[in-house]
Chain A
Amino acid sequence: MHRPKPNKLHDELDALLDGRPVELTDELAPLVEAADVLRIELAGYQLDPGVADRHLQRILEGSGTVVQLPVRQPAGAWDVRRRVVAVALAAALVLAPATIASAAALPGQAMYPFKLAIEQVRIASVQWSPTREAGERTRVAGKRLDEVESLVRLRMFSQLPNALKALEQAVVAAQVAVAEAAEDGAPVATVASRLTQVRADGGRVVEEVRKAAASGSINLTGGTRDAVQAAVEDAQQDVLPPPGRETVPTAGTPTPTTPDNPPNPPVNPTPAPTPPSTAAPPPPTTTPPPPTTTPPPTPPPTTEPPTSAPPETAEGQPNGGEQTGAADGRDAVDEVPPTTVTAP
Protein backbone atom coordinates (compact mmCIF):
# COMPACT_ATOMS: atom_id res chain seq x y z
CA MET A 1 0.00 0.00 0.00
CA HIS A 2 1.27 3.44 -0.89
CA ARG A 3 2.32 5.54 2.05
CA PRO A 4 3.11 9.23 1.67
CA LYS A 5 6.59 10.40 2.50
CA PRO A 6 7.15 11.44 6.12
CA ASN A 7 7.81 15.05 5.21
CA LYS A 8 4.56 15.20 3.34
CA LEU A 9 2.75 13.73 6.31
CA HIS A 10 4.37 16.31 8.58
CA ASP A 11 3.30 19.10 6.26
CA GLU A 12 -0.23 17.80 5.98
CA LEU A 13 -0.55 17.45 9.71
CA ASP A 14 0.82 20.93 10.20
CA ALA A 15 -1.65 22.29 7.68
CA LEU A 16 -4.51 20.53 9.42
CA LEU A 17 -3.46 21.95 12.77
CA ASP A 18 -3.34 25.43 11.28
CA GLY A 19 -6.80 24.96 9.76
CA ARG A 20 -5.59 24.96 6.20
CA PRO A 21 -7.61 22.85 3.77
CA VAL A 22 -5.98 19.43 3.56
CA GLU A 23 -7.61 16.07 3.18
CA LEU A 24 -7.90 14.38 6.53
CA THR A 25 -6.53 10.93 5.97
CA ASP A 26 -7.19 7.96 8.16
CA GLU A 27 -3.59 8.06 9.27
CA LEU A 28 -3.73 11.64 10.44
CA ALA A 29 -7.19 11.54 11.98
CA PRO A 30 -6.12 10.30 15.44
CA LEU A 31 -3.31 12.82 15.55
CA VAL A 32 -5.67 15.67 14.80
CA GLU A 33 -8.03 14.30 17.37
CA ALA A 34 -5.25 14.20 19.94
CA ALA A 35 -4.42 17.79 19.09
CA ASP A 36 -8.07 18.73 19.58
CA VAL A 37 -8.16 16.99 22.93
CA LEU A 38 -5.06 18.85 23.99
CA ARG A 39 -6.44 22.16 22.75
CA ILE A 40 -9.69 21.66 24.58
CA GLU A 41 -7.83 20.70 27.70
CA LEU A 42 -5.58 23.75 27.50
CA ALA A 43 -8.48 26.06 26.72
CA GLY A 44 -9.94 25.10 30.05
CA TYR A 45 -7.10 26.82 31.84
CA GLN A 46 -8.30 30.36 32.29
CA LEU A 47 -6.40 33.04 34.08
CA ASP A 48 -8.31 34.32 37.08
CA PRO A 49 -9.38 37.95 36.45
CA GLY A 50 -8.22 38.93 39.91
CA VAL A 51 -4.80 37.50 39.22
CA ALA A 52 -4.70 39.27 35.88
CA ASP A 53 -5.51 42.54 37.61
CA ARG A 54 -2.70 41.99 40.09
CA HIS A 55 -0.29 41.27 37.26
CA LEU A 56 -1.36 44.36 35.39
CA GLN A 57 -1.02 46.47 38.48
CA ARG A 58 2.49 45.16 39.01
CA ILE A 59 3.42 45.75 35.40
CA LEU A 60 2.01 49.25 35.30
CA GLU A 61 3.69 50.20 38.52
CA GLY A 62 6.93 48.84 37.20
CA SER A 63 7.49 47.20 40.55
CA GLY A 64 8.27 43.77 39.29
CA THR A 65 10.75 42.07 41.54
CA VAL A 66 10.59 38.47 40.43
CA VAL A 67 12.94 38.48 37.47
CA GLN A 68 14.91 41.51 36.48
CA LEU A 69 16.73 41.75 33.22
CA PRO A 70 20.19 43.16 33.61
CA VAL A 71 19.72 46.82 32.84
CA ARG A 72 22.76 49.01 32.83
CA GLN A 73 22.44 51.94 35.17
CA PRO A 74 23.16 55.35 33.70
CA ALA A 75 26.67 56.35 34.57
CA GLY A 76 27.18 59.40 36.70
CA ALA A 77 29.63 62.17 35.94
CA TRP A 78 32.18 60.74 38.33
CA ASP A 79 31.89 57.31 36.68
CA VAL A 80 32.35 58.84 33.26
CA ARG A 81 35.45 60.65 34.40
CA ARG A 82 36.85 57.52 35.97
CA ARG A 83 36.21 55.57 32.78
CA VAL A 84 37.83 58.26 30.65
CA VAL A 85 40.86 58.32 32.92
CA ALA A 86 41.06 54.53 32.89
CA VAL A 87 40.84 54.37 29.11
CA ALA A 88 43.41 57.13 28.72
CA LEU A 89 45.73 55.42 31.16
CA ALA A 90 45.38 52.08 29.43
CA ALA A 91 45.96 53.70 26.06
CA ALA A 92 49.03 55.48 27.37
CA LEU A 93 50.40 52.30 28.88
CA VAL A 94 49.95 50.46 25.63
CA LEU A 95 50.69 53.14 23.09
CA ALA A 96 53.65 54.89 24.65
CA PRO A 97 55.97 51.87 24.76
CA ALA A 98 54.74 50.74 21.38
CA THR A 99 55.41 54.16 19.90
CA ILE A 100 58.88 54.29 21.36
CA ALA A 101 59.62 50.74 20.29
CA SER A 102 58.39 51.33 16.77
CA ALA A 103 60.21 54.61 16.21
CA ALA A 104 63.33 52.89 14.93
CA ALA A 105 61.52 50.12 13.10
CA LEU A 106 62.54 49.47 9.52
CA PRO A 107 60.53 47.98 6.68
CA GLY A 108 60.09 44.29 7.15
CA GLN A 109 60.27 44.47 10.91
CA ALA A 110 57.39 43.60 13.18
CA MET A 111 56.82 47.06 14.57
CA TYR A 112 56.99 48.82 11.24
CA PRO A 113 53.24 48.73 10.52
CA PHE A 114 52.66 50.24 13.93
CA LYS A 115 55.06 53.02 13.07
CA LEU A 116 53.17 53.72 9.85
CA ALA A 117 49.89 53.72 11.72
CA ILE A 118 51.19 56.25 14.22
CA GLU A 119 52.36 58.44 11.36
CA GLN A 120 48.93 58.28 9.79
CA VAL A 121 47.36 59.25 13.07
CA ARG A 122 49.72 62.19 13.41
CA ILE A 123 48.96 63.32 9.88
CA ALA A 124 45.25 63.01 10.47
CA SER A 125 45.55 65.02 13.64
CA VAL A 126 47.07 68.01 11.88
CA GLN A 127 44.94 68.07 8.78
CA TRP A 128 43.09 71.09 10.05
CA SER A 129 46.16 73.18 9.20
CA PRO A 130 47.68 72.98 5.72
CA THR A 131 51.01 74.22 7.01
CA ARG A 132 51.17 71.63 9.77
CA GLU A 133 50.07 68.88 7.43
CA ALA A 134 52.77 69.86 4.96
CA GLY A 135 55.29 69.89 7.78
CA GLU A 136 54.18 66.49 9.01
CA ARG A 137 54.30 64.96 5.56
CA THR A 138 57.74 66.43 5.02
CA ARG A 139 58.85 64.92 8.31
CA VAL A 140 57.47 61.55 7.16
CA ALA A 141 59.40 61.87 3.91
CA GLY A 142 62.53 62.48 5.95
CA LYS A 143 61.78 59.36 7.97
CA ARG A 144 61.45 57.31 4.79
CA LEU A 145 64.79 58.65 3.64
CA ASP A 146 66.36 57.71 6.97
CA GLU A 147 64.94 54.24 6.57
CA VAL A 148 66.48 53.84 3.13
CA GLU A 149 69.84 54.92 4.50
CA SER A 150 69.51 52.55 7.44
CA LEU A 151 68.62 49.66 5.19
CA VAL A 152 71.69 50.30 3.08
CA ARG A 153 73.86 50.67 6.14
CA LEU A 154 72.50 47.47 7.67
CA ARG A 155 72.67 45.69 4.32
CA MET A 156 68.98 44.80 4.41
CA PHE A 157 68.76 45.02 0.66
CA SER A 158 65.69 42.86 0.25
CA GLN A 159 63.59 45.65 1.72
CA LEU A 160 65.16 48.35 -0.43
CA PRO A 161 62.63 48.30 -3.30
CA ASN A 162 59.72 48.81 -0.97
CA ALA A 163 61.57 51.44 1.00
CA LEU A 164 62.45 53.34 -2.18
CA LYS A 165 58.83 53.27 -3.31
CA ALA A 166 57.71 54.43 0.10
CA LEU A 167 60.24 57.26 -0.03
CA GLU A 168 59.01 58.31 -3.44
CA GLN A 169 55.40 58.27 -2.33
CA ALA A 170 56.17 60.19 0.83
CA VAL A 171 58.03 62.88 -1.07
CA VAL A 172 55.21 63.22 -3.60
CA ALA A 173 52.67 63.46 -0.79
CA ALA A 174 54.77 66.10 0.91
CA GLN A 175 55.10 68.07 -2.33
CA VAL A 176 51.38 68.01 -2.87
CA ALA A 177 50.76 69.08 0.70
CA VAL A 178 53.24 71.95 0.41
CA ALA A 179 51.73 73.04 -2.90
CA GLU A 180 48.23 72.98 -1.49
CA ALA A 181 49.31 74.90 1.55
CA ALA A 182 50.98 77.45 -0.68
CA GLU A 183 47.84 77.78 -2.75
CA ASP A 184 45.92 78.43 0.42
CA GLY A 185 48.34 81.22 1.20
CA ALA A 186 49.74 79.46 4.22
CA PRO A 187 53.31 80.24 5.31
CA VAL A 188 55.21 77.21 4.08
CA ALA A 189 58.62 78.65 3.38
CA THR A 190 60.33 76.73 6.16
CA VAL A 191 58.58 73.52 5.30
CA ALA A 192 59.38 73.95 1.64
CA SER A 193 63.04 74.38 2.40
CA ARG A 194 63.01 71.27 4.54
CA LEU A 195 61.37 69.38 1.74
CA THR A 196 63.96 70.67 -0.68
CA GLN A 197 66.63 69.36 1.64
CA VAL A 198 64.92 65.98 1.85
CA ARG A 199 64.62 65.76 -1.90
CA ALA A 200 68.23 66.69 -2.41
CA ASP A 201 69.40 64.15 0.13
CA GLY A 202 67.02 61.62 -1.31
CA GLY A 203 68.31 62.16 -4.80
CA ARG A 204 71.83 61.67 -3.57
CA VAL A 205 71.01 58.50 -1.64
CA VAL A 206 69.02 57.01 -4.50
CA GLU A 207 71.84 57.72 -6.86
CA GLU A 208 74.26 56.00 -4.51
CA VAL A 209 72.00 52.99 -4.36
CA ARG A 210 71.76 52.93 -8.13
CA LYS A 211 75.50 53.02 -8.54
CA ALA A 212 76.09 50.40 -5.91
CA ALA A 213 73.50 48.09 -7.44
CA ALA A 214 74.92 48.59 -10.92
CA SER A 215 78.54 48.09 -9.91
CA GLY A 216 77.81 45.04 -7.81
CA SER A 217 79.45 46.50 -4.76
CA ILE A 218 76.49 45.36 -2.75
CA ASN A 219 75.60 41.75 -2.81
CA LEU A 220 72.17 41.50 -4.40
CA THR A 221 70.40 38.49 -5.75
CA GLY A 222 69.05 38.70 -9.25
CA GLY A 223 65.46 39.41 -8.31
CA THR A 224 66.38 41.92 -5.67
CA ARG A 225 68.77 43.72 -8.00
CA ASP A 226 66.09 44.07 -10.64
CA ALA A 227 63.59 45.30 -8.13
CA VAL A 228 66.04 47.79 -6.68
CA GLN A 229 66.99 49.08 -10.10
CA ALA A 230 63.36 49.43 -11.11
CA ALA A 231 62.54 51.29 -7.91
CA VAL A 232 65.55 53.54 -8.36
CA GLU A 233 64.56 54.33 -11.93
CA ASP A 234 61.05 55.19 -10.88
CA ALA A 235 62.24 57.40 -8.10
CA GLN A 236 64.81 59.20 -10.21
CA GLN A 237 62.44 59.63 -13.10
CA ASP A 238 59.69 61.29 -11.17
CA VAL A 239 60.61 62.63 -7.82
CA LEU A 240 64.19 62.21 -6.78
CA PRO A 241 66.48 62.97 -9.69
CA PRO A 242 70.17 62.40 -9.16
CA PRO A 243 72.17 65.45 -8.24
CA GLY A 244 73.91 65.62 -11.56
CA ARG A 245 70.82 65.43 -13.70
CA GLU A 246 68.68 67.90 -11.97
CA THR A 247 69.98 71.00 -13.74
CA VAL A 248 70.46 69.62 -17.21
CA PRO A 249 67.05 69.59 -18.83
CA THR A 250 65.89 72.85 -17.44
CA ALA A 251 68.10 75.37 -19.15
CA GLY A 252 66.12 77.77 -21.26
CA THR A 253 62.98 75.74 -21.31
CA PRO A 254 60.59 77.41 -19.00
CA THR A 255 57.39 75.53 -18.64
CA PRO A 256 54.63 77.91 -17.79
CA THR A 257 52.89 75.75 -15.34
CA THR A 258 50.16 77.20 -13.27
CA PRO A 259 49.27 76.60 -9.68
CA ASP A 260 46.29 74.64 -10.88
CA ASN A 261 48.30 71.65 -11.96
CA PRO A 262 49.90 70.31 -8.85
CA PRO A 263 49.92 66.68 -10.00
CA ASN A 264 52.86 67.46 -12.24
CA PRO A 265 55.95 66.62 -10.34
CA PRO A 266 58.37 69.46 -9.95
CA VAL A 267 61.02 69.54 -12.57
CA ASN A 268 63.78 70.31 -10.19
CA PRO A 269 63.19 71.79 -6.84
CA THR A 270 66.73 72.18 -5.75
CA PRO A 271 68.29 75.61 -5.97
CA ALA A 272 71.25 76.35 -8.12
CA PRO A 273 73.97 73.78 -7.80
CA THR A 274 77.57 74.56 -8.13
CA PRO A 275 78.52 75.00 -11.76
CA PRO A 276 81.16 72.28 -12.02
CA SER A 277 78.83 69.66 -10.72
CA THR A 278 76.45 70.00 -13.63
CA ALA A 279 78.67 68.07 -15.95
CA ALA A 280 79.94 65.32 -13.73
CA PRO A 281 78.01 63.43 -11.14
CA PRO A 282 79.08 63.97 -7.59
CA PRO A 283 81.15 61.43 -5.81
CA PRO A 284 79.09 58.85 -4.04
CA THR A 285 79.43 59.52 -0.41
CA THR A 286 82.09 61.97 0.46
CA THR A 287 80.84 65.04 -1.30
CA PRO A 288 78.19 66.94 0.54
CA PRO A 289 75.09 67.64 -1.49
CA PRO A 290 75.88 70.69 -3.51
CA PRO A 291 72.42 72.12 -4.15
CA THR A 292 71.68 73.18 -0.66
CA THR A 293 75.02 74.63 0.22
CA THR A 294 75.24 77.11 -2.56
CA PRO A 295 72.83 79.99 -2.53
CA PRO A 296 71.12 80.83 -5.79
CA PRO A 297 72.71 83.50 -7.92
CA THR A 298 69.94 85.92 -7.38
CA PRO A 299 68.40 85.78 -3.99
CA PRO A 300 64.71 85.23 -4.44
CA PRO A 301 62.22 87.29 -2.56
CA THR A 302 61.70 85.55 0.69
CA THR A 303 58.45 87.20 1.53
CA GLU A 304 56.62 86.65 -1.69
CA PRO A 305 53.98 83.99 -1.82
CA PRO A 306 55.11 81.01 -3.81
CA THR A 307 52.48 81.23 -6.44
CA SER A 308 53.36 84.77 -7.32
CA ALA A 309 56.72 83.90 -8.79
CA PRO A 310 56.45 84.98 -12.40
CA PRO A 311 58.01 82.83 -15.10
CA GLU A 312 59.93 85.70 -16.57
CA THR A 313 62.10 86.09 -13.50
CA ALA A 314 63.17 82.50 -13.92
CA GLU A 315 64.22 83.01 -17.45
CA GLY A 316 66.89 85.44 -16.50
CA GLN A 317 68.61 82.99 -14.22
CA PRO A 318 71.30 80.53 -15.21
CA ASN A 319 69.13 77.63 -14.27
CA GLY A 320 65.92 79.10 -15.49
CA GLY A 321 64.31 75.77 -16.20
CA GLU A 322 64.60 74.89 -12.59
CA GLN A 323 62.95 78.07 -11.65
CA THR A 324 60.13 77.54 -14.05
CA GLY A 325 59.08 74.69 -11.95
CA ALA A 326 58.49 77.32 -9.34
CA ALA A 327 55.30 78.27 -11.03
CA ASP A 328 53.98 75.00 -9.77
CA GLY A 329 53.67 76.46 -6.37
CA ARG A 330 55.43 73.74 -4.43
CA ASP A 331 58.65 74.47 -6.25
CA ALA A 332 58.19 78.12 -5.86
CA VAL A 333 58.37 77.70 -2.16
CA ASP A 334 61.44 75.55 -2.51
CA GLU A 335 63.50 78.48 -3.55
CA VAL A 336 62.18 80.89 -1.02
CA PRO A 337 64.38 80.78 2.02
CA PRO A 338 67.94 80.03 1.18
CA THR A 339 69.00 81.22 4.57
CA THR A 340 67.03 78.61 6.39
CA VAL A 341 68.66 75.71 4.64
CA THR A 342 71.43 74.26 6.64
CA ALA A 343 74.25 72.48 5.06
CA PRO A 344 74.69 68.91 6.20
Chain B
Amino acid sequence: MLGFGGEREAVSKVGLTAADLVAARLREPAALTRIYTAYAPALFRFFMASVSDRHLAEDLTGSTFVSAIEGLPKFRGPVEALGGWLFQIARHDLYDHRRKQSRSRIEPLDDNLTEAAASDGTVDPEELAIARLEGGRVLRALQELSPDQREVLLLRMAGGMTAPEVAAILGKTTNAVKALQHRGLASLARVLGLRSLRETQERPYPSPDPGRLTSQEEEEER
Protein backbone atom coordinates (compact mmCIF):
# COMPACT_ATOMS: atom_id res chain seq x y z
CA MET B 1 0.00 0.00 0.00
CA LEU B 2 2.79 2.40 0.80
CA GLY B 3 4.52 3.89 -2.16
CA PHE B 4 8.00 4.22 -0.79
CA GLY B 5 9.58 4.59 -4.20
CA GLY B 6 9.70 8.24 -5.10
CA GLU B 7 6.68 10.18 -3.92
CA ARG B 8 4.91 8.91 -0.90
CA GLU B 9 1.28 8.24 -1.53
CA ALA B 10 -1.24 9.39 1.05
CA VAL B 11 -2.06 6.46 3.26
CA SER B 12 -4.51 6.38 6.11
CA LYS B 13 -3.75 4.89 9.50
CA VAL B 14 -5.48 1.71 8.46
CA GLY B 15 -3.46 1.36 5.27
CA LEU B 16 -5.93 2.71 2.74
CA THR B 17 -4.66 4.75 -0.15
CA ALA B 18 -6.17 7.56 -2.17
CA ALA B 19 -6.51 5.09 -5.02
CA ASP B 20 -8.66 2.91 -2.78
CA LEU B 21 -10.88 5.87 -2.08
CA VAL B 22 -11.26 6.71 -5.76
CA ALA B 23 -12.03 3.11 -6.59
CA ALA B 24 -14.54 2.87 -3.75
CA ARG B 25 -16.34 5.92 -5.08
CA LEU B 26 -16.70 3.98 -8.30
CA ARG B 27 -18.03 1.06 -6.24
CA GLU B 28 -15.18 -1.21 -7.13
CA PRO B 29 -15.73 -4.34 -5.00
CA ALA B 30 -12.09 -4.80 -3.96
CA ALA B 31 -11.82 -1.24 -2.71
CA LEU B 32 -15.13 -1.44 -0.88
CA THR B 33 -13.99 -4.64 0.77
CA ARG B 34 -10.74 -3.02 1.87
CA ILE B 35 -12.57 -0.10 3.41
CA TYR B 36 -15.01 -2.37 5.18
CA THR B 37 -12.23 -4.59 6.48
CA ALA B 38 -10.29 -1.57 7.68
CA TYR B 39 -13.07 0.14 9.61
CA ALA B 40 -15.77 -2.41 10.41
CA PRO B 41 -14.08 -3.80 13.57
CA ALA B 42 -13.65 -0.33 15.05
CA LEU B 43 -17.20 0.66 14.18
CA PHE B 44 -18.54 -2.53 15.67
CA ARG B 45 -16.63 -1.91 18.91
CA PHE B 46 -17.95 1.62 19.03
CA PHE B 47 -21.54 0.47 18.59
CA MET B 48 -21.10 -2.46 20.93
CA ALA B 49 -19.86 -0.25 23.71
CA SER B 50 -22.61 2.26 23.01
CA VAL B 51 -25.65 -0.01 22.84
CA SER B 52 -24.39 -3.11 24.71
CA ASP B 53 -26.25 -5.35 22.30
CA ARG B 54 -24.34 -7.49 19.84
CA HIS B 55 -27.09 -7.90 17.26
CA LEU B 56 -27.99 -4.27 17.36
CA ALA B 57 -24.33 -3.30 17.08
CA GLU B 58 -23.98 -5.59 14.06
CA ASP B 59 -27.02 -4.07 12.42
CA LEU B 60 -25.82 -0.56 13.09
CA THR B 61 -22.38 -1.39 11.70
CA GLY B 62 -23.90 -2.75 8.51
CA SER B 63 -26.29 0.14 8.07
CA THR B 64 -23.54 2.66 8.70
CA PHE B 65 -21.46 1.13 5.96
CA VAL B 66 -24.36 1.03 3.56
CA SER B 67 -25.01 4.71 4.22
CA ALA B 68 -21.35 5.52 3.88
CA ILE B 69 -20.90 3.69 0.60
CA GLU B 70 -24.00 5.34 -0.80
CA GLY B 71 -22.69 8.73 0.20
CA LEU B 72 -19.07 8.11 -0.65
CA PRO B 73 -19.22 10.04 -3.96
CA LYS B 74 -20.04 13.11 -1.90
CA PHE B 75 -17.04 12.64 0.39
CA ARG B 76 -14.45 15.16 -0.77
CA GLY B 77 -11.80 14.80 1.91
CA PRO B 78 -8.52 12.94 1.76
CA VAL B 79 -8.29 9.28 2.58
CA GLU B 80 -6.88 10.13 6.01
CA ALA B 81 -10.19 11.79 6.87
CA LEU B 82 -12.29 8.81 5.84
CA GLY B 83 -12.29 7.32 9.34
CA GLY B 84 -13.57 10.49 10.92
CA TRP B 85 -16.26 10.75 8.28
CA LEU B 86 -17.36 7.17 8.90
CA PHE B 87 -17.59 7.77 12.62
CA GLN B 88 -19.65 10.88 12.01
CA ILE B 89 -22.13 8.74 10.11
CA ALA B 90 -21.95 6.18 12.90
CA ARG B 91 -22.82 8.84 15.47
CA HIS B 92 -25.76 10.00 13.42
CA ASP B 93 -27.00 6.45 13.01
CA LEU B 94 -26.62 5.90 16.73
CA TYR B 95 -28.60 9.02 17.52
CA ASP B 96 -31.27 7.99 15.05
CA HIS B 97 -31.50 4.62 16.69
CA ARG B 98 -31.78 6.14 20.15
CA ARG B 99 -34.44 8.54 19.00
CA LYS B 100 -36.50 5.73 17.52
CA GLN B 101 -35.91 3.67 20.62
CA SER B 102 -37.11 6.45 22.86
CA ARG B 103 -40.33 6.67 20.85
CA SER B 104 -41.12 2.97 21.10
CA ARG B 105 -39.73 1.92 24.42
CA ILE B 106 -39.49 -1.89 24.51
CA GLU B 107 -37.53 -3.61 27.21
CA PRO B 108 -35.18 -6.08 25.56
CA LEU B 109 -34.57 -9.56 26.81
CA ASP B 110 -31.66 -9.92 29.07
CA ASP B 111 -28.51 -9.91 26.97
CA ASN B 112 -26.95 -12.73 28.85
CA LEU B 113 -29.91 -14.99 28.27
CA THR B 114 -30.11 -14.04 24.62
CA GLU B 115 -26.50 -14.68 23.96
CA ALA B 116 -26.45 -17.90 25.94
CA ALA B 117 -29.42 -19.14 23.97
CA ALA B 118 -27.75 -18.19 20.74
CA SER B 119 -24.45 -19.82 21.58
CA ASP B 120 -25.92 -23.27 20.83
CA GLY B 121 -23.38 -25.03 23.04
CA THR B 122 -20.23 -24.05 21.20
CA VAL B 123 -19.13 -21.77 24.04
CA ASP B 124 -18.79 -22.87 27.60
CA PRO B 125 -21.68 -21.15 29.41
CA GLU B 126 -19.54 -20.60 32.49
CA GLU B 127 -16.81 -18.83 30.55
CA LEU B 128 -19.42 -16.85 28.72
CA ALA B 129 -21.05 -15.78 31.94
CA ILE B 130 -17.71 -14.74 33.47
CA ALA B 131 -16.76 -12.85 30.36
CA ARG B 132 -20.10 -11.12 30.28
CA LEU B 133 -19.81 -10.27 33.92
CA GLU B 134 -16.41 -8.69 33.51
CA GLY B 135 -17.41 -6.95 30.29
CA GLY B 136 -20.54 -5.72 31.92
CA ARG B 137 -18.49 -4.22 34.70
CA VAL B 138 -16.44 -2.06 32.36
CA LEU B 139 -19.41 -1.11 30.23
CA ARG B 140 -21.45 -0.23 33.26
CA ALA B 141 -18.56 1.85 34.52
CA LEU B 142 -18.61 3.57 31.18
CA GLN B 143 -22.26 4.40 31.67
CA GLU B 144 -21.30 6.33 34.79
CA LEU B 145 -19.55 8.93 32.67
CA SER B 146 -21.17 11.92 31.09
CA PRO B 147 -22.27 11.41 27.44
CA ASP B 148 -19.50 13.67 26.20
CA GLN B 149 -16.82 11.89 28.18
CA ARG B 150 -18.12 8.50 27.08
CA GLU B 151 -18.23 9.50 23.45
CA VAL B 152 -14.70 10.88 23.53
CA LEU B 153 -13.35 7.74 25.17
CA LEU B 154 -15.15 5.46 22.75
CA LEU B 155 -13.94 7.34 19.71
CA ARG B 156 -10.41 7.31 21.12
CA MET B 157 -10.31 3.73 22.37
CA ALA B 158 -12.74 1.94 20.08
CA GLY B 159 -12.32 4.02 16.98
CA GLY B 160 -8.60 4.57 17.30
CA MET B 161 -9.01 8.25 16.53
CA THR B 162 -6.53 10.85 17.72
CA ALA B 163 -7.65 13.76 19.86
CA PRO B 164 -7.72 16.20 16.91
CA GLU B 165 -9.73 13.70 14.86
CA VAL B 166 -12.20 13.27 17.70
CA ALA B 167 -12.40 17.03 17.99
CA ALA B 168 -13.26 17.28 14.30
CA ILE B 169 -15.94 14.61 14.60
CA LEU B 170 -17.55 16.16 17.66
CA GLY B 171 -17.12 19.74 16.57
CA LYS B 172 -15.06 20.62 19.63
CA THR B 173 -11.58 21.95 20.16
CA THR B 174 -8.72 19.57 20.70
CA ASN B 175 -8.14 20.98 24.16
CA ALA B 176 -11.76 20.37 25.06
CA VAL B 177 -11.46 16.79 23.86
CA LYS B 178 -8.30 16.28 25.89
CA ALA B 179 -9.99 17.69 28.98
CA LEU B 180 -13.02 15.44 28.49
CA GLN B 181 -10.73 12.51 27.96
CA HIS B 182 -8.84 13.29 31.15
CA ARG B 183 -11.95 13.69 33.24
CA GLY B 184 -13.57 10.64 31.68
CA LEU B 185 -10.61 8.40 32.40
CA ALA B 186 -10.36 9.78 35.92
CA SER B 187 -14.00 8.93 36.51
CA LEU B 188 -13.57 5.53 34.92
CA ALA B 189 -10.55 4.81 37.09
CA ARG B 190 -12.44 5.89 40.15
CA VAL B 191 -15.46 3.75 39.33
CA LEU B 192 -13.26 0.79 38.51
CA GLY B 193 -11.34 1.32 41.74
CA LEU B 194 -8.02 2.06 40.09
CA ARG B 195 -5.98 4.36 42.31
CA SER B 196 -2.58 5.86 42.15
CA LEU B 197 0.19 4.53 44.35
CA ARG B 198 0.08 7.65 46.46
CA GLU B 199 -3.65 7.34 47.03
CA THR B 200 -3.24 3.69 47.86
CA GLN B 201 -0.56 4.48 50.41
CA GLU B 202 -2.65 7.15 51.95
CA ARG B 203 -5.73 5.02 52.06
CA PRO B 204 -4.81 1.36 51.96
CA TYR B 205 -8.47 0.36 52.08
CA PRO B 206 -10.33 2.69 49.85
CA SER B 207 -13.89 3.09 50.91
CA PRO B 208 -16.24 2.16 48.13
CA ASP B 209 -18.55 4.79 46.95
CA PRO B 210 -22.05 3.56 47.66
CA GLY B 211 -23.35 5.52 44.73
CA ARG B 212 -21.14 3.57 42.37
CA LEU B 213 -22.38 0.21 41.47
CA THR B 214 -19.11 -1.32 40.39
CA SER B 215 -16.04 -0.64 42.38
CA GLN B 216 -13.13 -3.00 42.49
CA GLU B 217 -13.88 -3.93 46.07
CA GLU B 218 -17.46 -4.81 45.37
CA GLU B 219 -16.44 -7.11 42.59
CA GLU B 220 -13.89 -8.78 44.77
CA GLU B 221 -16.32 -9.16 47.58
CA ARG B 222 -18.75 -10.68 45.20
Q: Which stretch from B2-10, B41-49, B78-86, B104-112 is at the chain A interface? A: B41-49
CA distance A6 to B182 in the complex (A): 9
Within 8 A of A (CB), among B178-210: 178-179, 181-182, 185-186, 188-189, 192, 194-199
8 A Cβ contacts from A46-73 to B = 46-48, 51-52, 54-56, 58-60, 62, 64-69, 71
Within the assembled complex, what's the spacing in Å between the Cα atoms of A51 and B63? Answer: 12
Asked if A13 lies at the interface with its beta carbon under 8 angstroms from chain B, I say yes
B48-80 vs A, CB cutoff 8 Å, 1 = contact: the mask equals 110000100111011111110111001000000
Contact A39 B157, beta carbon cutoff 8 Å: yes
Q: Label chain B's interface by main secondary structure.
A: helix
Q: How far is the CA of A7 from the CA of B175 in the complex (A)?
A: 8
Instruction: Assess whether B62 is in contact with A55, with CB atoms less than 8 Å apart.
Output: yes
Query: Are A64 and B69 in contact, CB atoms less than 8 angstroms apart?
Result: yes
How extensive is the interface on chain B, given as a class?
35 or more
For A66, the closest partner residue in chain B by CB is B63
The answer to whether A34 has its CB under 8 Å from any CB of chain B is yes
Binds B, one of A23-31, A177-185, A194-202, A234-242: A23-31
The contact of A55 among B65, B142, B154, B163, by CB within 8 Å, is B65
B63 touches A64 (CB 8 A): yes
Most buried by A among B32, B36, B178, B188: B178
User: Within 8 Å of chain B (Cβ to Cβ): is A11?
Assistant: yes
Chain A 318-339 residues near chain B, CB threshold 8 A: none
Complex: how many Å from CA A64 to CA B89? 15
The minimal Cβ–Cβ distance linking B195 to chain A, given in whole angstroms, is 6
Q: CB < 8 Å: which of A18, A66, A69 contacts B71?
A: A69
Per-residue contact bits, chain A 2-35, to B (CB 8 Å; 1 contact, 0 not)? 0000110111011001100000001101111111
Knowing A38-B153, A45-B45 touch, does A59 contact B65 (C-beta < 8 A)?
yes
Q: Is the CB of A14 within 8 A of B67?
A: no
A37 interface residue per 8 A CB criterion: yes
The range of chain A's interface size is 35 or more
A41 at interface, CB cutoff 8 A: yes
Q: Are B185 and A34 in contact (CB under 8 A)?
A: yes
Q: Give CA–CA (A39, B45) in the complex, Å.
A: 10
Contact A31 B65 (CB under 8 A): no
How near does chain A come to B128, taking the closest CB pair, in angstroms?
Answer: 12
CA–CA, A208 and B5, complex, Å = 82
Q: How far is the CB of A92 from chain B (nearest CB, A)?
A: 35
B168 CB-CB contact with A under 8 Å: no
Task: Report how far A54 CA is from B36 CA in the complex, Å.
Answer: 12
Contacts of A14 in B (CB 8 A): 163, 178, 181
**A52 and B138 contact, Cβ closer than 8 Å, known pairs A45-B49, A67-B67, A68-B70:** no
Q: Is A44 an interface residue (CB 8 A)?
A: yes
- B135 contacts A by Cβ under 8 Å: yes
11 A–B contacts from the bound complex (CB under 8 Å): A14-B181, A18-B162, A26-B197, A29-B196, A30-B186, A42-B154, A42-B157, A42-B158, A45-B49, A65-B66, A66-B67
Which of B's residues lie within 8 Å of A, judged by CB? Answer: 27, 29, 32-33, 36, 40-41, 44-45, 48-49, 54, 57-59, 61-67, 69-71, 74, 93, 96, 131, 134-135, 138-139, 142, 153-154, 156-158, 162-163, 175, 178-179, 181-182, 185-186, 188-189, 192, 194-199
